[in-house]
Amino acid sequence: MVKKLTKDLEKLADKEKANVYQRFFKTGKGEYGEGDKFLGLTVPQVRIVSKKYANELTLSDLKKLIENKIHEYRLSALLILRFQYEKAVEKTKEKIVNFYLKNTSFINNWDLVDLSCQYILGNWLLNKTRKILYNLAKSKNLWERRIAIVSTFEFIRNHQFKDTLKIAEVLLNDKHDLIHKAVGWMLREVGKRDKKLLKIFLDEHCQKMPRVMLRYAIENFGKKEKEKWQSKIKK
């Protein structure tokens, strides 16, 4: 079944798009996506093919896909995990979450993180201890740190903001702009639901925040309000 899925993906390959994606996802030497290979498919294309096989693939099958060098194969594995998780009973959901956590080394680009972690790990932790997210936030692995903060989007949707703000504090001094953007994005989502709470957080931390993080966090503020917060950043 894995071979059928990969053949369906390969039929949709687009060399021109693949070349664009190679640049867009920073696959050059020393870049964050170094060595990643693309077929040139869009996310909707991968989603359609993945849904076709979602009920037929086992975790062993998905292991083969997620370990593959081709980006769209890994994306397909993660989308199938999402589909399976949504329909699974609690015991199976736990197996899927454990599989996800054991394979974070292959969830190694920002789209792979963002299209999976909040729907699987974030959902699983809604009514459980979030200790694993704090461990991931302190990881040396860029993508595990991004998983830690983006997973909290599921909490935010459920008006649970505490862990997003605490993990944002852990990541305030992170060196990577992909973490700056992710933290700013989550802070913005908190602000959409509780602007007062976001302002309290900014009052305490904005002087230490990277500019990109702050810019993302205040994206929905008015022009004068944005200028006010930006002026507080230490030069």
Q: 142: which DSSP letter? A: H
User: What is the pLDDT at residue 233?
Assistant: 77
Q: Where are the alpha helices (DSSP H) in 88-208?
A: 90-102, 110-114, 117, 123-124, 131-137, 142-150, 153-157, 162-170, 177-193, 195-205
pLDDT per residue, tens digit, the chain (235 aa), is 889 999 999 999 999 999 999 999 999 888 898 889 999 999 999 999 999 999 999 999 999 999 999 999 999 999 999 999 999 999 999 999 999 999 999 999 999 999 999 999 999 999 999 999 999 999 999 999 999 999 999 999 999 999 999 999 999 999 999 999 999 999 999 999 999 999 999 999 998 899 999 999 999 999 999 998 988 876 4
Whole-number pLDDT of residue 234: 63
Q: What is the pLDDT of residue 232?
A: 81
- pLDDT, position 231: 87
Chain mean position to CA 37: 19
Q: Measured on CA atoms in the order 120, 123, 128, 131, is the torsion positive or negative?
A: positive
Q: For residue 110, what pLDDT is reported?
A: 95
Strand partners, 70: 37
Identify the pLDDT of residue 30: 87
Picking from 45, 58, 78, the residue whose alpha carbon sits closest to that of residue 2 is: 58
Return the residue matching tokens 């461990």.
135
Question: What's the predicted TM-score (pTM) here?
Answer: 0.95
